Homo-oligomer: A and B are copies of this chain.
């Protein structure tokens, strides 16, 4: 043990994984929150741990936290070398850039950066690239055709091989020389935690996609909350089923790194492949919308797991039937609710008293969107607000009065990019963020989404929730999946029209007399729903139109019934 008090010129033996402080003089006790911190800590504490596994390509790629962190640094310098100079934005987003660096699904990177939904049409992609002012595009080889043919910005194609000769690897290597010379000291932290972290566009089921600006502070707090609520830790393995371009993967790209977990990425959502990983890759966590969860539990490869997996569910409420099937397989559902903004901002918190309930009773309670998430602020259900409203009035906690969900706090987006009008409208003039989702509040303070405003069916003057109808129809033993929309009715104004996918064995059972199934389902509905909410029409279909994120496209279904 030696003590050398003044050898100030001796260089450290190992570069520290710390970004330079911004030049502004900040107090010692204030440090801008930034999810980038997570990967620096992970690479410092668990450098050799498997951080990323991308097994679904001819030569599977895997990176330790140390290697991944180095690739992030290389990418940062490569972007700078490519002329990306607007500095702050690029520098602040290294972590996600690097997740993109191994192209988990097939992602396009805009400058801020943002992830573009691969299931959009080329015209929408062109709009997003134009609107976001993208300066460089990273694109997976399978999705080049989505790009406008006359794109002025540089395009880096990734063949997703992780090998020498891949144009993306070539691009990364451009940054390597600078990396070796300057290390982390050549980059610096963003001084303002309120700066943009990501620019993701809404899926735009109606109108133009809107660019959602999230902040470093919000992303940090949302990711920490998500790791805590999902219990993601060193021994966890997160399987990517939810596409990362949807709401930044509900912050799991960051949450998994914060918890030092391993992430496994796939190129396609293939249920038998998912089961292969469930059974062989020590998977402990995944996220998916109910429709994907239905596909998972009904796949022929599905079986009871040797050890439990946590499934984070959002996008729609899980039905009793789905909850039962998941639990039977050893999959523990965590039901959350969020928007395109960040990850979840409410969660269904199971109560001890539920343990002794029947599945039917319990699943009704589990279908509620619940209470505010860790690090989120209060979530309210208020009488429909108008823009500029300063005082919002909460609906009674009666589980019956429908209002709109509003919230505020650190897990809310900062703004819609270059769209002050839409921003002002969403923020009701500055007091709170209006989600536009309709919900009731139960006496215990849990919210339950009843519908998007446009999904309410006004049947004989009564408001029928298509969601509530779907919940009941899904409990019929022959129903695999169901979606209900309003269809014009001469007498009642509107009536529910149900689109149903049958389970495999039910298809043969009803073969040749499918209309009898419709009658049976209507009778089934009458025993469980008020008359105005019973489906007037039942249509058996082989599949339902869905968004890339697995949400059913009710707009498409409404177009179908409009023609009937």
| A interface with B by C-beta (< 8 Å) | 1-14, 16, 18, 21, 25, 27-31, 33, 37, 41, 44-47, 49, 194, 215, 217-218, 224-225, 227-228, 231, 233, 258-259, 349, 351-352, 370-372, 374-375, 377-378, 380, 383-384, 393-398, 400-402, 408-410, 412-414, 427, 430-433, 440, 443-445, 450, 456, 462-465, 468
Minimum CB–CB distance for A320 against chain B, Å: 19
Residues of B within 8 A of A29 (CB): 215, 218, 408-410, 412-414, 433
Docked Cα-Cα span, A4 to B381, in Å, equals 12
What's the number of copies of this chain in the assembled complex? 2
Residues of B within 8 A of A27 (CB): 414, 430
Chain B, residue nearest A444 (CB):
B47
Minimum CB–CB distance for A20 against chain B, Å: 11
Q: Do B37 and A1 touch (CB < 8 A)?
A: no
Q: Do B44 and A445 touch (CB < 8 A)?
A: yes
Q: Do A400 and B1 touch (CB < 8 A)?
A: yes
Also in contact, A44 and B413, with CB within 8 A (given A12-B396, A224-B228): no
Q: Do A2 and B377 touch (CB < 8 A)?
A: no
Minimum CB–CB distance for A103 against chain B, Å: 28
Docked Cα-Cα span, A44 to B13, in Å, equals 52
Q: Do B445 and A3 touch (CB < 8 A)?
A: no
Residues of B within 8 A of A413 (CB): 29
Chain B, residue nearest A426 (CB):
B28
Docked Cα-Cα span, A409 to B32, in Å, equals 8
Chain B, residue nearest A407 (CB):
B28
**16 examples of A-B residue contacts, CB within 8 angstroms:** A2-B463, A3-B402, A4-B395, A7-B393, A8-B393, A16-B378, A25-B430, A28-B408, A37-B377, A41-B374, A44-B371, A45-B370, A224-B225, A227-B228, A231-B231, A231-B233
Task: Name the residue in A393, A400, A433 with the highest tally of chain B Cβ atoms < 10 Å from its Cβ.
Answer: A393
Residues of B within 8 A of A430 (CB): 25, 27-28
Q: Do B372 and A1 touch (CB < 8 A)?
A: no
Docked Cα-Cα span, A217 to B4, in Å, equals 37
